[in-house]
Structure formats: structure tokens, C-alpha cells
Structure 1
């Protein structure tokens, strides 16, 4: 059976498709090197239109108005550009009320698509553009260390990693952050202090990686311009031992944070990525994985929340004390204990 998966890989190759939600313009070329925060495509998500009555503006019948129109369909207009005229003794003219593009001009009327600030799609990770998707986006490939989280606030940035969480059970408070934190990507443990999230905005951090966070802080974290990624979950949980060990080895290395919202249907997860040069024989990170014996897993629900272990046996339908009957697995935990837990409570660590 397929199981929830979270990649924690010290060296891998990843390919990420970066696609606009609507058709737009791709700004890069195949083979181009891009940075995590570089804009690779843009589109107008919320187009605005103005319908202009040219005939009324000129004071002429609709069937005559078209002869006075001075612009063509598809032409880009600046604000106050002359659209039609002059007409009559008073030399009446019609000007464009806003900057925009002529969509339709017919029957004495004109439809103007208003120019607006486009939505810009960032690369999300440093790498090479290996494929173009016409009018929609690109595929970016890169090599390095990858850690995936469970929640992100949708922001993207990059910087160097500074570690506050010297132990997996670290808890961050606002006094841990000062002017020396400015410009860094900070790794911390559990966050229960809203002042921390306010401080990272004031200090212009380039990112915050948390082991866990209280769910009540989600609205505040979602508004932050700084990318925030939660690695393990909500409520007080330690950083997974495998994640913590890898991150300690990467302190002061360049890191890119793509704090995308997790999507269980597409497999998209927030990602922490450390670019590096690796041999081309390294296998790409998997999108899905099946649960098997000897796989490393993390238990995501009580009473062993956050514990990491290895699958010793995948059992059939098993009855639990609370009355639940479901498929389960026998897990050998890192602390030496053994437990039987429902498969739904397991997350595979690759």
C-alpha cells in the first residue's frame, strides 16, 4: 500500500514543475540557470476590463464611430492616449482612461483590458530549466540535500542557515532573535510564542524552519512575508532525529525555502533545499512510496507522536484496545521499544 512520505535526503536530484494557475508568459529559456527567487513566468490572475462607448464620447452614430478609431485590436495603450477623434467643430476626442490593451473594437464601442501588476511565479529552488511548458511554466532540476515539511505559508526565499535548535526538543522565544539574526534562515524547534513571528518580520529574516508550532499561530504565520516551514506538525513535537542530524551538518550552507502549502492530492509539500554538485547517477527523489518491511517511519499520532523507528512486520487487520480494527505494523523504535500502530499513523522517511 502507498503511505504518506516525507523526504529527508542528504543527496538527491529533484525536478519540480512550476506552473502558472492560468496561461501567461514564460520568462526564461531551456538550459538557463535560475535562482530560487528568480521570476520564471508571469500572468494576470484577475483581469479587469473597461467597456468604452466611443460613439457617445464623440457624439456620432455607432455605425460612424469606427471610422474615427485610431488604434487596432491588440494595441497597447497608455493612460490618456487618444483612442478616437477628433470630430466636429469642437474637435471632440476620446482618451484612454487607463493603461491597457485593446481587446475588441466594434459597434461604436471598445473593450479595454486594464494593465495590472502580474502574478509572478518564482523558481522555488536554484537549478537549471530542463523543460518549458508553453504559456504555463517550466520544469527545474537541481541536486543537493532535501527535507520536506508538513506546513508552509506560501513564501519563497533563500539565504544561509543559522541553527538555534542545537537539540531536537528546542523551544524558541522572541529573545532568541536579535539584530545578528538579520538576513539568516533560522532553524528552531517548537514555537508557542506569537512574538517570535512578529520579530522575524521586523528583523527581515530570509526564512524560519520550525520543528513544530502551535496551531493557533497559523493565521499569524500565514500573513508573514518571511517563508515559514513546519517540519513535523502542530503541538509540541521534537524535530525528528534524522532531520536534526542532517540540518546540523549543513549549518551556514546556502539554503532555499519553498514554503508551498501541502497538497495531499498532488504530493506537493513545503521544501527545504541545499543546492550542491552531485554525481549524475544519484536517483531522483520519489513522489510516492509503498510501505515495506525495514523502512524507516515516523509515528504521527499519540501515544508515540514524533517517534522514529523501523517497520519490522506489516500485519493484517488488528484489533486495538479502543475498539478500532485496522491494518497495522510492528515498529522497532529508536529507543529500543516495540509497538504496534495503525498504518494510517505512519509516515515513511526516505
Structure 2
């Protein structure tokens, strides 16, 4: 799997992201100005319902008239409670606005890009999922982005949805459970040209899978990063388009304390070299992490019957594995 950032995990990088709540109908009203510093839980734009849009436009057109004063006092024409305030999800600087009303924020962040995803862009508190027992059931806090180290299930997705969770980051899921929860054919979703319309049909729960379809567990280096930022507000997007080179991602702003310690962004290098840490991205060993120990000069034969250029990996448990070069990706 090729990631747009080069590596699936970037512990330190500078990103520019548009904050835009896809799937909503209404008019966007920015609540910030260019060059303003924002924090993750700060509202940066407001989505007004069609009814409120009419009220705003009529008030502006009649601002200098007596009729405007009587109009503004009518609770039936303007109901602020139906507006939706959208938090930034990032700590950073507002660097611009998009034609549709989105707010572009630049942030120092840790970035995780997934293999599979679905759902709109959401902000929430990273919360680790622990397998509950009959003695200590785990409540799921509403508004959270739930991190599940293992595979997702249809039942767990519905439990998260009913608890008010806004997003789930997990390792994998069966195609049957994913399509059953989304109530759509996943390939059809990926091929859709009308993304906004498709989002309106999906359940209001954004999904990111680090390993994709199947039953693989989450790699240790990804789980370690998520544990490090547990309790932080993160920005999650399920957008996935091979046509546009867009992948689901989780962005977590770096705390100010870390930025003051000589922080430098990581420059990803996808070149495979001796000593490179890589991840196996297909086959029976999918998800396993190791270091390139040897490059074979000639093609190697594999149990599947294919012959391919290969490398020898020293895995995290100390064992060695020979894998085709096309089935590995550099991760650091």
C-alpha cells in the first residue's frame, strides 16, 4: 500500500488541513480570521441550516430599516440552537479559507494514514478500548474517537454508534461486517463521484483501519503512538479515493511542550536499504514489522509458485523471514 505521505505513520510532520464537516447541508460561517492561533476544541466555523440561512440573509438586507429590528426579534425565523459549531480538531494557525467555506489550518502533528476507511471528517478525544468483563464493563464516552487494537465487529460498531462515539480507529474488519454496518457495497462507495451524497447515506461514525480487510492486529509501533496521545483531541477522516490518491487519516497535534524541545519534522524516505524498518503489507505475515537484513541478488522461489526479487527481514521477535520486495513498505 502506497501512502500519500510516504510512510503510514509520521510521528512528527507539518500538515495543512481543511476543516470541513462533509455530509452536512447548510451554509458555512467562519468563526476565525487568517493568522489566528486555534486550539483543538475551539469552534472555527458554524454550519447554518437552510432556515437560518434565510434569516441571516434577510437580516443583512434590512439591517438599516425598522423592519429589520422587528425581524431580528422573531424567534420563529432565527433559532441559534439549530446551528452546528465545528471545532478545529487541531492546534495550529489559520492560513486561509476555501471557496466552500472550509477553514485551512497549519499544524505540527503526528499523522497516521490507514489502509481502509469510511465516513466524514470528525474531531474527538482519543480513547483506548479495553475488552470489558462482567466485573468491569467499560463505558464508551460520547464524542470519543475509539482506538481498538484488534479487529472490529459489526456488534462493536453498533455499540460505539449507540454510545455517541464519533469515530473508530482499529486494525481490521471482515468485508461482511463492514458492508453490513455501512449498508452499502464498499467498492461502490470507493467509486462514487458524489462523495457528499454518499456520506449522507452512511451511519454517523467514521472508520479508519490500519491493516484493512481481514483479521490482522494493529502493529506495535502504531499502537504505541496512539497510547502516547491517549486523551488528546484528534482529527479523523475516513476519506478514501484511489483515483485522487486520498487515504483515511488521523492527525494529532503535537503538544506545545514537545515543540519547545528542538522539535524537527521527520522527512519520509521510501527507499528500501539495509537497516530500513519495514512492514509486511500482504500475505500470511501481514502487519509484521522487521528490519531489512539482506538483499538477494537473484529472484527467489516462494511456496505460492512465484519467483520474485526478495529481501530477508529480521523480525521483532528475532526470527528471519524472506519476503518479496513488492510486499513490504518502509515505515521509518
* TM band (smaller chain): 0.5 to 0.7
Sort the Cα spacing of 1:274 and 1:231 in 2 relative to 1 into closer, same or farther, 3 A. farther
Are 1:340 and 2:328 matched, yes or no?
A: no
**Structure 1 residues 132 and 312 mapped into 2: Cα distance closer, same or farther (>3 Å)?**
farther
**Equivalent of residue 127 in structure 2, options 149, 162, 165:** 162
**Contact 1:149 1:231 (C-alpha < 8 Å) held by counterparts:** yes
* Greater Cα radius of gyration, structure 1 or 2: 1
Q: Which one of the candidate residues 164, 169, 177 is aligned to 1:204? A: 164
- RMSD across aligned C-alpha pairs, in angstroms? 4.1
Equivalent residue in structure 2 for 1:140, among 90, 105, 118: 105
CA shift for structure 1 position 262: 3.2
Give the TM-score of the pair, scaled to structure 1: 0.62
Equivalent positions of 1:277-288 (< 5 A) are 277=256, 278-279=258-259, 282-284=263-265, 286=267
Unaligned runs of at least 5 residues, structure 2:
48-56, 60-84, 183-201
In structure 2, how many angstroms separate the alpha carbons of the residues matched to 1:317 and 1:37? Answer: 57
Q: C-alpha separation between the residues in 2 aligned to 1:299 and 1:199?
A: 32
- Does residue 1:324 correspond to 2:289, yes or no? no
Counterpart in 1 of 2:249? 270
Deviation at 1:316, TM superposition (A): 4.8
**Aligned mate of 2:232, from 254, 263, 269:** 254
Match of 1:228 in 2: 207
1:62 aligned residue: none
Q: What TM-score, normalized to structure 2?
A: 0.65
Over 3 Å counting, the alpha-carbon distance change for 1:177 and 1:204 in structure 2 is farther
Shift of 1:31: 1.0
If each structure's helix is expressed as a fraction of its own residues, which one has the higher value? 2
CA deviation map 1:129-186 (0-9, x unaligned) = 2345666856422124332222222223333332225xxxxx789x997645334332
Contact 1:182/1:204, CA 8 A, preserved across alignment:
yes
How many residues are treated as equivalent by the alignment? 272
Residues 134, 182 of structure 1: CA spacing in aligned structure 2 closer, same or farther, 3 A cutoff? Answer: closer
Gaps of 5+ in 1: 43-75, 79-119, 166-170
- Residue in 2 that maps onto 1:129: 94
1:313 pairs with 2:294: yes
**How far is 1:307 from its partner?**
0.8
Partners in 1 of 2:308 and 2:132 — Cα distance?
Answer: 38
User: Distance between the aligned counterparts of 1:328 and 1:138, measured in 2?
Assistant: 46
Report the CA distance between 1:328 and its aligned residue.
Answer: 2.3
Distance change (3 Å), C-alpha of 1:217 and 1:38 = farther
Q: Cα offset for 1:298?
A: 1.0
